[in-house]
Structure 1
Amino acid sequence: MPSPLSPEEIDALARRRANAKLGWYVHAVVFVLVNTVLFALSGRGFGTRPWSVYPLLGWGLGLALHGVSVFLLGGGSGLRERMVQREREALLREQQQQGPQPPRD
């Protein structure tokens, strides 16, 4: 079970998560704006086929993966937090097995 977070750690984590969500929202707005312009250009005769679907699909996949990383994997009880906790515990065990180390300069 993870140790309780200090108020400073909670604040830092909350800010990191809020920034990640804000980053996704900015990404989504830029996606919509740029793809709207591309769609308009595609419909105005810049090419014979509706080519704007290709950047839409590629970038849409990137936006979806970005959303998964922010909203599904970024939660407090999510996969990412558990992985970080496991790594932290492994490093602490490794450090305890090695014994005290001289301080680094």
Structure 2
Amino acid sequence: MPALSPDEIDRLARKRAGAKLGWFLHAAVYVVVNLTLLAMSRYGWGNRPWSIFPVLGWGLGLALHGLSVFVIGQGSALREHLVRKERERLQREHGGPR
């Protein structure tokens, strides 16, 4: 991987930090909203625990968001490994760098 200039490092760091901050904000809203829905389900509307459905559905979305930010997001170790392997494979197939 080519060396990055200080400006590129700063831009990438800001982008990654923004993605992580976005996930933490998403998680905070998830907790607040779902605690409210749990209270409404338990003490308000209906006598069945319906709030489990939004908890599970939104929880899946939150988990996928976290996966995209922390595991396979731009600059993650897994993504960089896969890009490097694919680059090496293409260079072998097409006779080296061009």
Name the TM-score, length of structure 1 as normaliser: 0.73
Aligned-pair CA distance for 1:12: 0.4
Corresponding position of 2:42: 43
1:87/1:16 CA distance change after superposition, 3 Å:
farther
Corresponding position of 1:99: none
Q: Which shows bigger deviation, 42-51 or 28-37?
A: 42-51
Aligned with 1:4: secondary structure?
A: coil
User: In 1, Cα distance between the equivalents of 2:33 and 2:41?
Assistant: 12
User: In 2, Cα distance between the equivalents of 1:75 and 1:9?
Assistant: 13
Aligned-pair CA distance for 1:84: 6.0
Corresponding position of 1:71: 70
Q: Which amino acid aligns with 1:44?
A: Y
User: In 1, Cα distance between the equivalents of 2:76 and 2:65?
Assistant: 18
Aligned-pair CA distance for 1:82: 5.0
Rg (Cα) greater in structure: 1
Corresponding position of 1:21: 20
Q: Give unpaired runs (5+ residues) of structure 1.
A: 97-105
Root mean square deviation of aligned Cα: 2.3
Q: What is the percent sequence identity of the aligned residues?
A: 61
Corresponding position of 1:100: none
Structure 1, residues 38-92: CA drift from partner, whole Å, max 9, x if none?
000001141121000000000001001111111111263534345667899x8xx
1:66/1:13 CA distance change after superposition, 3 Å:
same
1:77/1:55 CA distance change after superposition, 3 Å:
closer
Q: Give unpaired runs (5+ residues) of structure 2.
A: none
Residues 74 and 81 in structure 1, CA contact (< 8 A), matched pair in contact too: no
Q: Which amino acid aligns with 1:14?
A: A
Aligned with 1:65: secondary structure?
A: helix
User: In 1, Cα distance between the equivalents of 2:41 and 2:22?
Assistant: 28
Name the TM-score, length of structure 2 as normaliser: 0.78
